[in-house]
Amino acid sequence: MDKVSKGIDWETFHKLRGSKKRTYFTRDGNIFHVIMSQQFDRAFLDDICELATKIRGISKGNKGVAFLQSLLQGKRAMLYFVQPSTRTFLSFMAACQILGIQCSEVRDTTTSSEMKGESQEDTVRTFSSYVDLIVMRHPQTGFAERIAFLLNQISRPVPIINAGSGKDQHPTQALLDIYTLHRSFENYGGIDGKKIALVGDLLRGRTVRSLVYLLRNYEGIRFYFVAPPELQMGDDLKEYLRKQKVPFEESDTLEEVVPLVDAVYMTRIQDEYDEQGESKEIDYTKYYFKEKYLKVLPPNAIIMHPLPRRDEIPVKIDADKRAMYWRQARNGMWVRVTLIAKIFQKDKDIREY
């Protein structure tokens, strides 16, 4: 039975474990809001991967392109991105276009009535009057969740997709990362049993947090958290993994970890969250993937990065067949098409095409 936030107050709801919130993000057993990685199970992830590959195949011909564009013609989406974005914004826009959805955008609160004192909640509720889907990137942790909770209580709720919320979650990035891992290891035993190094600013990186939550759905995963001591993975995630009996090791020496793993997931320092420039004190060059590491990286291992990068991966490495970060960016578009199609229950039509 789905729950729609009626009869529960925000404080009580907010304190629930992620897995307990899952039913508040569904309608009639189907996905409705996309807020946090903990809402997804293995069956959902397998389905996303299978359907994304099917959609990629369909889009290769003109007939398929027209079919995809007919699926959600007449629907409208609001892209509310009030934190900078290149990939997520553009791939959501492209995904909407592929499905025939028209997009509006707000990327700067100075152009909205928030400047006149309107609350953020009222602003997003206003969007819901005009569109069928709201995709939002916001600097506040938990904002997308609060809006989903709020919209569950109104008579015309629309789905909310969290496209990045503060330091906390970026669930659609994690879904595209899973799809990239799935494709990379399709002929090498799948994602189960893989050893994965997450590197860099793990404390404030929302992509790695969301990815850890998704990867606990796979058997035999082992994590290596490679980070400066000040920016190691948060205690909440480590406690979660202990409870889930998912093994992890912490290290601050990337060179020693590279030969041991199937995937190295690099991240940039998230210094936009510095309070007083504290990141400047950290020698982040220790967490760069150096060209010499290519020699010790196993031949079937992959290098990932959510991008944007700074100097964590030299451009020269892009030509190595194990560099997957540009494929990740492209996969993001297909995964977002898939997700939107599932929200509007068009997956059956796609499967039957």
With respect to ligand CP, which residue has the nearer C-beta, 105 or 252? 105
- CB hemisphere CA count around 93 (13 angstroms): 14
Pairing mode, if any, of strands 222-226 and 248-251?
parallel
- CB-based closest residue to ligand CP: 88
> What letters, b where the CB count within 10 A reaches 16 and e where it falls short, cover 181-215?
bbbbbeeeeebeebbbbbbbbbbbbbbbbbbbbbb
> What letters, b where the CB count within 10 A reaches 16 and e where it falls short, cover 28-49?
eeebbbbbbbbbbeeeebebbb
Which element (helix H / strand E) includes 32? none
Site string for ligand CP, 264-303 (x = CB under 6 A): ----------------------------------------
What is the nearest approach in angstroms of ligand CP to the Cβ of residue 295? 28
Question: Which span (87-95, 123-131, 139-147, 185-193) binds ligand CP, by CB under 6 A?
Answer: 87-95
Site string for ligand CP, 135-164 (x = CB under 6 A): -----------------------------x
What is the nearest approach in angstroms of ligand CP to the Cβ of residue 257? 23
Question: What amino acid positions are annotated as catalytic residues?
Answer: 87-88, 116, 137, 170
Considering only residues 299 to 338 of the shown chain, the ones binding ligand CP according to CB under 6 A are 306-308
With respect to ligand CP, which residue has the nearer C-beta, 133 or 208? 208
Phi, psi angles (nearest 5°) of residue 168: -95, -60
With respect to ligand CP, which residue has the nearer C-beta, 85 or 251? 85
Query: Number of residues in contact with ligand CP, rule: CB under 6 A?
Result: 10
Site string for ligand CP, 89-108 (x = CB under 6 A): x-------------------
Site string for ligand CP, 189-228 (x = CB under 6 A): ----------------------------------------
Considering only residues 1 to 60 of the shown chain, the ones binding ligand CP according to CB under 6 A are none
With respect to ligand CP, which residue has the nearer C-beta, 305 or 342? 305
Among 5, 39, 88, 169, binds ligand CP (CB under 6 A): 88
Residue found under tokens 């993000």: 25
Structure-token pair, residue 46: 């397998």
With respect to ligand CP, which residue has the nearer C-beta, 88 or 331? 88
Question: What sections of 131-162 are H helices per DSSP?
Answer: 143-151
Considering only residues 67 to 86 of the shown chain, the ones binding ligand CP according to CB under 6 A are 85-86
Going by C-alpha positions, the residue among 204, 190, 183, 194 that lies closest to residue 279 is 204
Structure-token pair, residue 157: 């709720």
What is the nearest approach in angstroms of ligand CP to the Cβ of residue 307? 5
**E-only strand ranges, the chain:** 26-27, 30-31, 76-81, 102-106, 133-138, 160-165, 195-199, 222-226, 248-251, 263-266, 302-304
CA 46/CA 51 separation, integer angstroms: 9
CA 76-166-21 angle, 5° bins: 70
Q: Work out whether 87 is an interface residue with ligand CP (CB under 6 A).
A: yes
CA 284/CA 287 separation, integer angstroms: 5
What is the nearest approach in angstroms of ligand CP to the Cβ of residue 166? 13
Please give the residue ranges that form the binding site for ligand CP (CB under 6 A). 85-89, 164, 173, 306-308
